[in-house]
């Protein structure tokens, strides 16, 4: 099969790209290499493979000849989205609309990477896909808006689209601004770690390999919207303790105020994904944390 992966040099995208190549598929890899974090880290992710540099919000977009598009490109970071909403609109709504329109025109199925941030403090746990979203950040608003765009183009232009709401993905190649990479690097260097909130906030942590398996299954079997989440709901304080045990050291924690747009809890109902996609997360939190810790030790500089 011939697939397109947008955001192919990023955290999840680079893992997905590798998995597709290992399965014998052809992959057209697209990435903008924005300055959200050091582009050199993305270069490390791709390991020398060729990436087509494209700005999906303004460059010509065509998927003619492709069998499917995995749209993982976007502007991440709920807390940072409060400072530059127009950028998030451009990268997460404008770019998505152009991807969806091109896919509808070319008759190509799309799997779209949305986010658990669309739920916000929804108050229903574990949260099913039909819960009413109440996003807490501009980032969550843009991801929800992109979902609505996809649904509109599905009805009006026949877009074949599946939407995945990823929950707190972690593992090797996780972005440097994300909690587990910051925890592991602080432990490996002895530097302090800024803990936003009191550490009691819990997440349905999802190991990256499991997220990739769900993403491919969605291309093959999905319809509608799916939660993609690991089976372990763990507090941030317990996550810190796990990494401390792996490191054999204590983390120098500096308490900070809760980050804006940060929900107190995320917990996913994955019944729909299990039934439709035949998918369930297989990696324990402990095994995933160990893999991420070992990656940080191998790549620190």
Considering the domain boundaries, does residue 257 fall inside one?
A: no
How many secondary structure helices (H) and strands (E) does the chain include?
Answer: 10, 12
Query: Residue 124's pLDDT is what?
Result: 95
Considering the domain boundaries, does residue 273 fall inside one?
A: yes
Considering the domain boundaries, does residue 110 fall inside one?
A: yes
CATH number at residue 139: 3.40.50.720
* Non-local CB neighbours of 12 within 8 Å, separated by 6+ positions: 72, 113, 166, 169, 208, 211, 212, 215
User: Is residue 258 predicted with pLDDT exceeding 70?
Assistant: yes
What spatial distance separates the first Cα and last Cα of the chain, rounded to whole Å?
38
Looking at every residue in the chain, the average pLDDT score rounds to: 97
Mean pLDDT across 190-214: 97
Considering the domain boundaries, does residue 138 fall inside one?
A: yes
Q: In the chain, how many domains are there?
A: 1
Considering the domain boundaries, does residue 289 fall inside one?
A: no
- pLDDT, tens digit, for every residue of 35-63? 999 999 999 999 999 999 999 999 999 99
Considering the domain boundaries, does residue 199 fall inside one?
A: no
Q: How many CB atoms neighbour CB 280 within 10 A?
A: 14
Which 8-state DSSP code applies to residue 92?
A: I
- pLDDT, tens digit, for every residue of 18-34? 999 999 999 999 999 99
User: Is residue 300 predicted with pLDDT exceeding 80?
Assistant: no
Burial class (CB within 10 angstroms; exposed 0-12, middle 13-18, buried 19+) of 18:
middle
The rounded distance, in Å, linking the Cα atoms of 103 and 257 is: 42
- pLDDT, tens digit, for every residue of 72-116? 999 999 999 999 999 999 999 999 999 999 999 999 999 999 999
User: Is residue 301 predicted with pLDDT exceeding 80?
Assistant: no
Domain holding 22, by residue range, is 2-169+207-230+267-282
Active site residues: 139
Using alpha carbons, select from 216, 225, 239, 220 the residue that is nearest to residue 168.
Answer: 239
Token digits of residue 93 = 């709504």
- pLDDT, tens digit, for every residue of 148-182? 999 999 999 999 999 999 999 999 999 999 999 99
Query: Residue 202's pLDDT is what?
Result: 97
Considering the domain boundaries, does residue 244 fall inside one?
A: no
Considering the domain boundaries, does residue 291 fall inside one?
A: no
């Amino acid at each position: 099969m011939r697939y397109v992966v947008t955001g192919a040099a990023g955290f999840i995208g680079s893992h997905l790209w590798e998995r597709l190549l290992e399965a014998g598929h052809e992959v057209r890899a697209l990435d903008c290499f924005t300055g959200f974090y050091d582009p050199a880290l993305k270069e490390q992710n791709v390991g020398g493979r060729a990436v087509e540099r494209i700005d999906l919000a303004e460059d010509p977009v065509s998927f003619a000849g492709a069998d499917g598009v995995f749209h993982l490109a976007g502007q991440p970071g709920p807390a940072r989205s409060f400072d530059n909403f127009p950028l998030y609109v451009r990268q997460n709504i404008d770019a998505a609309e152009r991807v969806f329109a091109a896919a509808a025109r070319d008759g190509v199925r799309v799997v779209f990477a949305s986010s658990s941030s669309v739920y916000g403090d929804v108050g229903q746990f574990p949260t099913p896909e039909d819960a009413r979203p109440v996003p807490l950040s501009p980032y969550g608003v843009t991801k929800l808006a992109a979902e609505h765009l996809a649904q509109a183009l599905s009805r009006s232009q026949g877009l074949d689209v599946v939407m995945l709401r990823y929950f707190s993905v972690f593992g090797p190649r996780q972005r440097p601004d994300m909690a587990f990479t910051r925890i592991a690097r602080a432990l490996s260097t002895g530097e302090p770690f800024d803990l936003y909130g009191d550490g009691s906030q819990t997440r349905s942590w999802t190991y990256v390999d499991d997220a990739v398996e769900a993403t491919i299954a969605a291309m093959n079997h999905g319809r509608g919207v799916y939660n993609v989440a690991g089976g372990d709901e763990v507090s941030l304080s317990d996550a810190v303790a796990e990494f401390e045990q792996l490191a054999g050291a204590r983390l120098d924690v500096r308490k900070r105020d809760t980050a804006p747009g940060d929900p107190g809890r995320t917990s996913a109902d994955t019944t729909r994904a299990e039934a439709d996609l035949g998918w369930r997360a297989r990696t324990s939190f402990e095994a995933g944390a160990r893999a991420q810790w070992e990656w940080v030790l191998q790549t620190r500089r």
